[in-house]
Amino acid sequence: MLLSCLDDDPRMERTLRRFAGALGHEVRFQTSSDALRADLSHNQPDLIVLDLSLGAETGLDILEWLVEHHPQIPIVFLSGQGDELLDTARRIAQGNGLTVSGTVNKANMVRELPDVLARRSVPEPPAKKTPPPPQAEAPLDVDALRVHLAAGRIEPYFQPIVSARTLESVGAEVLARLRLPDGTILGAGAFIPLAERSGLIMEVTRVLSERLIELAPQLKPLGFDFLSVNLSAANVQGEDVAVLIKRLVDAFSGGTRIVIELTETAMLSDLQQMRALTSQLRLGGASLSIDDFGVGYSSIRALAELPYDALKIDLSFVAEMFDSEKAANLVDSMLRMGHSLSLDVVAEGVETEAQRDRLIAMGVDRLQGYLFGRPMPIDQLVCSSDQADQPASRAGSRTGHLTGSGRDSRTDFQTASLADSLTNS
Ligand code: C2E
Ligand code: CA
Ligand code: CA
Q: Which of 130, 161, 175 to mutate to test the pocket of ligand 1 (most atoms within 8 A of CB)?
A: 175
pLDDT of 298 reads 58
Number of neighbours of residue 278 by Cβ within 10 angstroms: 22
Judge contact between 289 and 312, C-beta under 8 A.
Answer: yes
The H-or-E segment that residue 204 falls in is helix 201-219
Percent above pLDDT 90 for the chain: 53
Best of 153, 192, 290, 314 for a ligand 1 pocket test (most atoms within 8 Å of beta carbon): 192
Q: Among 85-99, 214-228, 233-247, name the one with the lowest average pLDDT.
A: 233-247
Quick one: how far is CA 263 from the chain centroid?
15
Query: Identity (one letter) of the amino acid at 182?
Result: D
Rounded Cα distance between 341 and 338, Å, is 5
Q: Does domain 2-119 have CATH number 3.90.79.10?
A: no
Tell me what pLDDT residue 413 has: 35
Ligand 1: centre distance to CA 282 (Å): 23
**What proportions of the chain, in percent to the nearest 5, are helix, strand and coil?**
50, 20, 30
What pLDDT is attached to residue 310? Answer: 96
**Region 25-47 average pLDDT:** 90
pLDDT of residue 416: 39
| Predicted confidence (pLDDT) per residue in 260-314, tens digit | 998 765 555 677 888 888 898 999 999 999 999 988 755 788 888 889 999 999 9
Residue 404 pLDDT level (bands cut at 50, 70, 90) = very low
Alpha carbon nearest to ligand 1 atom 10, residue: 375
- Flag whether pLDDT at 335 surpasses 60: yes
| Distance from Cα 167 to the centre of ligand 1, integer Å | 21
Residue among 279, 309, 304 at smallest CA distance from 291:
309
Ligand number with the minimum distance to the CA of 176: 1
Q: Would you state the pLDDT for residue 367?
A: 98
CA of 348 to the centre of ligand 3 (A): 7
Test site for ligand 1: of 230, 265, 313, most ligand atoms within 8 A of the Cβ: 230
- Domain residue limits, the chain: 2-119, 142-419
Report the pLDDT value the prediction gives residue 75, as an integer from 0 to 100: 94
CA distances from 19 to 36, 113, 418 (A): 20, 7, 42
Residue nearest to atom 46 of ligand 1 (CA): 230
173 in Cβ contact with 159 (< 8 Å): yes
The DSSP call for residue 181 is T
Is the pLDDT at 213 greater than 50, yes or no? yes
142-160 per-position pLDDT tens digit: 999 999 999 999 999 999 9
Question: What integer pLDDT is reported at residue 118 of this predicted model?
Answer: 78
Range with the largest mean pLDDT of 41-55, 116-130, 161-175: 161-175
CA separation for the pair 363, 285 (Å, rounded) = 27
pLDDT bracket for residue 396 (50, 70, 90): very low
Is the model more confident about 67 or about 423? 67
In this structure, the residues whose C-beta lies within 6 A of any atom of ligand 1 are 159, 175-176, 187-189, 192, 201, 204-205, 208, 230-232, 261, 263, 291-292, 315, 348-351, 369-370, 375, 424
Yes or no: say if 289 and 308 are a contact pair by the CB < 8 Å rule. yes
In total, the chain counts a number of residues equal to 425
161 neighbors 259 (Cβ within 8 angstroms): no
Q: How far apart are CA 289 and CA 285, in angstroms?
A: 13
Q: Where residue 411 falls among pLDDT bands split at 50, 70, 90?
A: very low
Distance separating alpha carbons of residues 316 and 326, to the nearest angstrom: 13
DSSP code for 221: G
Mean confidence (pLDDT) of the chain? 84
Architecture of domain 142-419: Alpha-Beta Barrel (3.20)
Which range scores top for mean pLDDT: 299-308, 319-328, 359-368? Answer: 359-368
DSSP H helical segments within 122-239, as ranges? 142-150, 188-197, 201-219, 233-237
Q: Mean of the pLDDT values across residues 364-368?
A: 98
Q: What distance in Å separates the CA atoms of residue 258 and residue 288, rounded to the nearest whole number?
A: 9
pLDDT of residue 124: 43
What is the band of 232 on the pLDDT scale with cuts at 50, 70, 90?
confident
Q: How far is the CA of 316 from the centre of ligand 3 (A)?
A: 9
CA 168–ligand 3 middle distance (angstroms):
20
More confident position, 398 or 191: 191
Per-residue confidence (pLDDT) for residue 297, from 0 to 100: 58
CA 30 to ligand 2 center in whole angstroms: 48
Residue from 305, 263, 258 nearest 282 by CA: 258
Output the CA 416–ligand 3 centroid distance in Å: 20
| Ligand lying closest to the C-alpha of residue 208 | 1
pLDDT of residue 425: 39
Q: Strands 257-263, 287-293: parallel, antiparallel or unpaired by DSSP?
A: parallel
Average pLDDT for 227-234: 87
| Ligand lying nearest the CA atom of residue 265 | 1
